[in-house]
A and B are shown apart, each in its own frame.
Chain A
Amino acid sequence: MPAESALAEVFREEAGRITAALMRRFGDFDLAEECTQDALVAALERWPRDGVPVNPGAWLQTVATRRVLNQLERDQRYRRKLAQLTVEPQPDEQDDRLRLILTCCHPALSREAQVALTLRAVCGFTTAEIARAFVASEATVAQRLVRAKRKIGLAGIPFRVPSRSELGERLSEVLAVLYLLFNEGHLSTLGAVPSQRDLAEDAEWLVRLLTRLLPGEPEVLGLLALMKLHLARGATRFNLSGELVLLADQDRSLWDRAQITEAIVLIERAGHLGRPGPYQIEAAIAACHAEAPSFKATDWRQIVVLYDMLMAMAPSPVVRLNRAIAIWKVQGAEAALHELEEIAPVLDGYHLFHAARGEMLTELGCREQARAAQLRALDLTGNPAEQALLRRRLFNQ
């Protein structure tokens, strides 16, 4: 019997293509998506029993197409559509997945809907897998998908690649969805069941696909580089007892040098395109860390400069927090705490704000205030690995 991960890989390669091809042929997103999903579920049932077919993609495509045709025949509303269909040979070589991704990540859909749709229609996740990945019930996810697909149909969200002038904005929506998926997977590594599909891996796969579909877009390259740099350090983020290890304490000799080199090549390739953007800058920051021989020897000044650029492009309180942390390393804790004061009201509910503040206060010897900040951070985080780290910090103070 094939491993579940092998099936997942087949699904990932085929699901988006099939959905997009059915969508192109029948012009109905809901139908295309639903029937592809049916084919995947049928494969999950049959392949472990009967073996994986020689050409799994063709098998899935045939089953999905047959489902669509059955559905059309059964449904009054679709009969007319069926009659209109010409039996022309299919231009299947065309890769329509870009259109599919852009439709799933349309800004008229909620972020939750974008995430669920992308996973199901493009990556071939089953509803159960999405539910597991987001610790939600299957019914909740199913309902979210139904609502999203209804909205696509009712609101007239088109299946198209936007014009040049719209593309930038639409693409940043897509990249935001993919980065969210990546982080969801990357941060929850600890709780992951071995058989569970790794969201981070799927997100990286999606961005890699986008670099092929949109080779001239530097932000796509930037995001891929950023993901690779995170993954390169993945193995050192937890110690043997499953505890979170901070950047400062990670064993740098274990970082994946090949991934880091690839990421730096990507950053340079993006740079040549001459359109800097937030993901490229974030990747450059991550590269500064990846290339530093030690935490102490990190080029913090360069990092502050990069955060300044990021603030100019995509200002946010979290970017300011990270910039303050870099300032801490260049100018000391007092200067950094001063920076934090201004964002305190906005980030009061963010555990990492209090965690960073606590450490700075510890360095200045303000033990009581530091303790209060760490307790507040502990109170605000739901991630077990982060909770454990904060508890250790409190204990060691």
Chain B
Amino acid sequence: MKYVFLFCGTADDQAAFDSLSPEELKRRYAQVGRWFAENHAHLGPGNQLHGPESATTVRFQGDGKPIVKDGLFLEGKEIVGGYTEVDVANLDEALAMARSWPGRGTVEIRPVIQQR
């Protein structure tokens, strides 16, 4: 089964991350790097995203007219910081991987619609 992991965090998580010392930050990146290396066999494409200040939203009105706005679709709540595709046998395996995620915050697991 194919899933996408959305790595999310609150603004507080982001602030905590930003205030890490350079050594701590290095250590954290090393942990995350290890996680990606360990799970390499099950990972598809993925990326880390720039912060919420870089986000732009196109929102469609009821009449179908698009409105372009600065910022995130959902203000203030969880922010998606990155994503990766994951290919494993079932949800339990995906959960085991997500549980070992060293990046803190929240990991949302979404099954991908498979073309048959």
Contact = CB atoms under 8 A, between A and B. Distances in A.
B111 A160 contact: no
A166 B95 CA distance: 11
- Which of A154, A156, A158 has the most chain B CB within a 10 Å cutoff? A156
Interface in B67-98: 89-92, 94-96
- Which of B89, B92, B96, B111 has the most chain A CB within a 10 Å cutoff? B92
A157 interface: yes
Contacts of A154: 111
B1 A156 contact: yes
Interface in A147-174: 154-158, 160, 162, 166
B95 A156 contact: no
- Give the interface size class of chain B: 10 to 19
Contacts of A160: 90, 92
- Give the interface size class of chain A: 10 to 19
B90 A158 contact: yes
Interface in A93-148: 106, 108
Contacts of A166: 92, 96
A154 B89 CA distance: 13
A155 B98 CA distance: 14
19 contacts: A106-B91, A108-B91, A108-B95, A154-B111, A155-B91, A155-B109, A155-B111, A156-B1, A156-B90, A156-B94, A156-B111, A157-B90, A158-B90, A158-B91, A158-B92, A160-B92, A162-B92, A166-B92, A166-B96
Given A154-B111, A158-B89, 7 more contacts: A108-B95, A156-B94, A157-B91, A158-B92, A160-B92, A162-B92, A166-B92
Rank and list the top 9 A-B pairs by shortest CB-CB distance, nearest first. Answer: A158-B90, A156-B1, A156-B90, A156-B91, A157-B91, A155-B91, A155-B111, A158-B92, A154-B111
Interface of B: 1, 3, 89-92, 94-96, 109, 111
